[in-house]
Amino acid sequence: MYQTIFTPFHYQTTKRLRYFFITLGIILWLGASVTAFAPSLPHLLYRLSPNTPNTLAATISNTVPSNNDPLSYQDVTSLPPKDPSLPQQNTLIIDKIGVNGQIYEGDNWEEILKNGIWRTPDWGTPESSDRPIILASHRWGYLDWTNTFRKLNSFYNLPKLEPGDTISIIWNQRQYNYQVFLKESSESITDFSADLILYTCQLWNSPIRIFVYAKHLD
């Protein structure tokens, strides 16, 4: 019969392996906990500071300058064909990040942003041709938003868009398609030659915004 003899080397090796696996387990547990907790972080911060969404709404509304020049509209013959099967409400669709929400209009940004996506006044629509469409939404939203509503209407995943990605707008039951050509973080819009501009906050009360610029696909 053979007897296993454990030397100091064996003990040291076993001890190191035990510490390694314990450390690895702790790291994996922490990583899983952070991943699971991250979606709830906005809810926690909003509960600690209930006025945060309204503060962010004011920040979003102040990002775009006013433009009081009259809009120039395209001739109806140059517009995409009307499709009665499309939604009657104006809608933004970004398949890559799961956005599919109604576009709201008006000057009362504080109330509109509670509903989701806001088209900033005085700027373009898909039917106009002389200035960009500018759409904004909350990055995280409000406490009373469900997870499903948040996914469809917030711009939480806007940073995941890249040049070449496509965006669609349903407007008066006509579909307009756009292609992203630039994504950047900045305090203000830098390219008004775009046909479509989407933006949201980067981090809470930071002055930095996330902007996505797109061109209309003919």
The per-residue pLDDT for range 77-126, each reduced to its tens digit, is: 589 999 999 999 999 999 999 999 999 998 888 888 889 999 998 889 99
Higher per-residue confidence, 162 vs 11: 162
Compute the mean pLDDT over every residue in the chain, rounded to the nearest whole number: 80
| pTM for this model (two decimals) | 0.72
Give pLDDT, residue 178.
98
Strands 133-136 and 166-171: unpaired
Burial of 67 (C-beta count, 10 Å sphere; 0-12/13-18/19+): middle
CA separation (Å) from 170 to 77, 80, 82, 127, 135? 17, 10, 10, 11, 13
Question: Would you tell me how many other CB atoms lie within 10 Å of the CB of residue 29?
Answer: 10
Dist. CA 142–CA 216, nearest whole Å: 31
Dist. CA 62–CA 56, nearest whole Å: 10
Q: Give the DSSP per-residue string, the chain.
A: -------HHHHHHHHHHHHHHHHHHHHHHHHHHHHHHGGGHHHHHHHHSTTHHHHHHHHHHTSSPP--SPP-BPPGGGSPPP-TTS-SS-EEEEGGGTEEEEEEESS-HHHHHHHSEEEPTTS--TTB-SS-EEEE--SS--TT--HHHHHHH--TTGGG--TT-EEEEEETTEEEEEEEEEEEEESS---TT-SEEEEEESSTT-S-EEEEEEEE--
Q: Is the pLDDT of residue 216 over 60?
A: yes
- 2 pLDDT tier (thresholds 50, 70, 90): low
Q: What are the tens digits of pLDDT across the range 23-79?
A: 777 777 665 544 544 555 555 555 545 555 555 555 555 566 655 555 555 555 589
CATH 3.30.300.10 is the classification of domain 50-64+82-216: no
